[in-house]
A and B are shown apart, each in its own frame.
Chain A
Amino acid sequence: MKFFPLVWANLTRHKRRTALTTLSVALALFLFASLRSVVTTLRATGEVGSETRMIVQSAKAIVFFLPMSYRERLLAVPGVQAASWANWFGGVYQDPKNFFAQFAVDPESYLDVYAGDYDMPADQRAAFIRERTGCIVGKSLLDKFGWHLGQNVTLTGTIFEGDWPVTIRGVFRSLDPVFSEDAMLVHYDMVYERYPTWVRPGWYVLQLKNPALAPQVAAAIDSEFKNSSDPTKTGSERAFNASFVTMWGNVSFLMDSIGMAVVFAILLVAANSMMLSARERTNEVGVLKTVGFGDRLLFGLVMAEAGGIAAAGAVLGLGAATVLWPAIHFSAMGFLPGFRVTPGTLALGLGITVLLAVASGLLPALSAARLSAVQALRHVE
């Protein structure tokens, strides 16, 4: 500890160089943490969803509707406690760039099935259920567009053609990522009223009595509808969500490779800067050795310097990534809900910091330790 002032003096001698190196380490770790968070957020999105809920969708593809009559038949399957349904509404608010998810749902049964995953005052829930052109929105969506309760919002349908004026009757907070706060719920009946011969439920959500029976229930449902004109594909809600994540393809591999390239590039910058410093101080090393500093101590001093730079960079970079993304409510237009840096990513980032310190300090530290005093003093720039 008593050598701290010496390390500090060395670090502050070239203030600009130390600052720039620290900043590049910070940028690298910021970028690394951000890219890694894309991977972890996508993975987390694939893992949300309750095991007690199941999704019944068309076996042909998700874009096919299922008959309304399936609701009664699904409720009759042993083990099914409740059933609701939803549709992807696909409306545009003012500009296609303002993308957010809207679901056309059967309000009462849908909110019952998801009870416990959101928080909304009871009177707002009742107001939404009562009014066919009412809608509810997540708090973060409300804030994003600066809406307020009671406001009229007009959506332009891309799937369900026409203008759809809806009134915000409720604002909910999400208690579980499965119930996204970046989403809007409207009435299925509002859509059905205008397209009675066409629109049918896009998928059914089932609440099971006992999650352990999920495989049997799924098999029972799919075999019941197997030979109909609308066969079904039933799976857990988690599997349903995961299927959307796999649609991104090998994005994880891409993010991880870029992250590695970033770390390598900055490793070179940091190592170079440490080598520049060491080279300039050859004489000093000689002096220190002459007055009795041991090889090991000199090795430690250089390593401490590299460690200091890496640690400062890590605090800045990882800290910025942890604070910044939640602060600006970044969600990549809803594709990455709840985007944030996980503890696992932070741990990985710290591991990289240690590697960075060792890799950038090792060569200069070794050469400082091995240098003989005579040689060092002879060396004059």
Chain B
Amino acid sequence: MKIPLVYNIRSLARRPVSNAMTALGVAFVVGVFIATLALANGFRMALVKTGSPDNVVVLRKGADSELASGISRDHAAIIGALPEIAAASDGAPLVSPEVFVPMDIASASGGGAQLVVTRGVTTRAFEVRRSVHITAGRMFAPGRDEVIIGAAIAPRLAHSAVGDTIHFGGRGWLVTGHFAAGGSAFESEVWGQNEQLMPVLRGEFFQVVVFRLRDRSRFGAVQQKLQNDPRLQVDARRESDFYASQSAVLRTILNFLAIFITSIMAVGAIFGAVNTMYAAVASRTSEIAVLLTLGFRPRSVLASFLAEAAFLALVGGLVGCLVALPINGIVTSTTNWSSFSMIAFQFLVTPRILVEGLIFSLVMGVLGGFFPARRAARMPVVEAIR
């Protein structure tokens, strides 16, 4: 027969300070667990959201990033003529040959310059990348020294307000607008027209050609076609996969950090729970003996103490979730080592991470409660009741 949970909750209430401390220990661990995962997740999402499964990114063969890539005008023209490319309302193909270079741009804090991705696009880029839209000011005008700045990076750069002149590449550029792109990495970039930026950047080369597929299921065929074309030396990747892969270096570091830190912390918290539960068992020796004498099975006693430990840890886990929740949305910035440039992104706490945090706390409770609960279940009744 099951021992009612109310017994455990009342028992916990008898030692409020000690149990609160144990629960708080678990809460700290879960809080750190959620914070580090939210950081890794926010960074990953910024890059995953950057790509669309409808789009194809074409890079030079062997290039693992846009930075390392280069595609000549001739090749860009060959790629742009593919029949699989979707057409805009006016019938023109939805293709954007782009230049991509990290540039030194003065930061708002006055602490020198930061490397910021500068992307030269065509006006078609906004139809290819549908998440991108202007939030302030207007688009840059083709043929002029004008740029628009991503909403995430704008506050971190000097002279980035609409109407200001921002300096990079040895000259000034009029900032005509700010743009948002659904929280993606594009929001950490500066965009201008490719023909204007190309001479300032790296010569008569595009870095990537991006186009929208008429039918996303045709990707495999298009990829084959491009990679087997004897005139080209290129790799084609689905845009969503490509940008997700661009987060690999930093994501590995962040995930390692999250696992390393929280697993060590968790062991400490489990030890705390073990101590608390052993003390609970020891001080309730006679109670346990009574339970056993009354006919409760040792299995029920085991389950009861396990439930008590799990409940205690779960309360801690809940507190940890509540404490960690406010970090959701905090913007931080670091360098994405794949593009060698600054990227600003948000801590992203998702329901999934919260649930993982709670499960984590339950696991800590069950692990910490197991041995004390087993001792309670195996207690010799006659001795204990004396």
Chain A contact residues, CB within 8 Å of chain B: 16-17, 20-21, 23-24, 27-28, 30-31, 35, 59-64, 90, 92, 96, 99, 156-159, 161-162, 229, 231, 233, 243, 246-251, 254, 258, 261-262, 264-266, 268-269, 271-273, 275-276, 280, 332, 335, 381
Contacts and interface: CB of A to CB of B under 8 A. Distances in A.
B320 to A, nearest CB: 10
Given A31-B265, A157-B62, A266-B268, 14 more contacts: A20-B272, A24-B268, A27-B265, A27-B267, A61-B104, A156-B62, A158-B64, A162-B62, A231-B170, A247-B115, A249-B335, A265-B24, A268-B28, A272-B25
A8 to B, nearest CB: 19
A276 B21 CA distance: 11
Contacts of B111: 246
Q: Which 8 A-B pairs have the closest CB atoms?
A: A269-B272, A265-B28, A249-B334, A24-B268, A247-B335, A20-B271, A272-B21, A268-B25
A4 B7 CA distance: 41
Given A268-B22, A272-B272, A273-B275, A161 B60 contact: yes
Contacts of B67: 63
Contact of B261 (A64, A156, A262, A280): A262
Question: Which of A17, A28, A268 has the most chain B CB within a 10 Å cutoff?
Answer: A268
Contact of B103 (A61, A159, A261, A332): A61
15 contacts: A23-B271, A27-B268, A31-B265, A60-B103, A61-B102, A63-B67, A246-B112, A247-B114, A247-B115, A248-B334, A262-B261, A265-B268, A268-B24, A269-B272, A275-B21
B265 to A, nearest CB: 6
A262 B275 contact: no
Contacts of B29: 265
A59 B114 CA distance: 12
Contacts of A261: 28, 31-32, 265
Interface of B: 17-18, 21-22, 24-25, 28-29, 31-32, 35-36, 39, 60-65, 67-68, 101-104, 111-112, 114-115, 168-170, 200, 202, 233, 248-249, 253, 261, 264-265, 267-269, 271-272, 274-276, 278-279, 282-283, 332-335, 340, 342
Contact of B253 (A28, A268, A335): A335
A266 B272 CA distance: 8
A59 B104 contact: yes
A96 B112 CA distance: 32
Contacts of B202: 63-64
B25 A265 contact: yes
B32 A60 contact: no
B290 to A, nearest CB: 16
B297 to A, nearest CB: 26
Contacts of A266: 25, 268
B17 A243 contact: no
A27 B260 CA distance: 12
A52 to B, nearest CB: 22
B68 to A, nearest CB: 5
Contacts of B112: 243, 246
B209 to A, nearest CB: 17
Contact of A268 (B21, B114, B248): B21
A2 B36 CA distance: 48
Contacts of B25: 265-266, 268-269, 272
Contacts of B22: 268-269, 272
A114 to B, nearest CB: 24
Nearest to B116: A61
Contacts of A332: 253
Contacts of A20: 271-272, 274-275
Nearest to B199: A229
A212 B129 CA distance: 52
Given A31-B261, A258-B261, A335-B253, A63 B24 contact: no
Contacts of B253: 332, 335
A28 B29 CA distance: 11
A158 B332 contact: no
A158 B17 contact: no
A275 B275 CA distance: 11
Contacts of A275: 17-18, 21
Question: Which of A249, A262, A269, A271 has the most chain B CB within a 10 Å cutoff?
Answer: A269
A276 B279 contact: yes
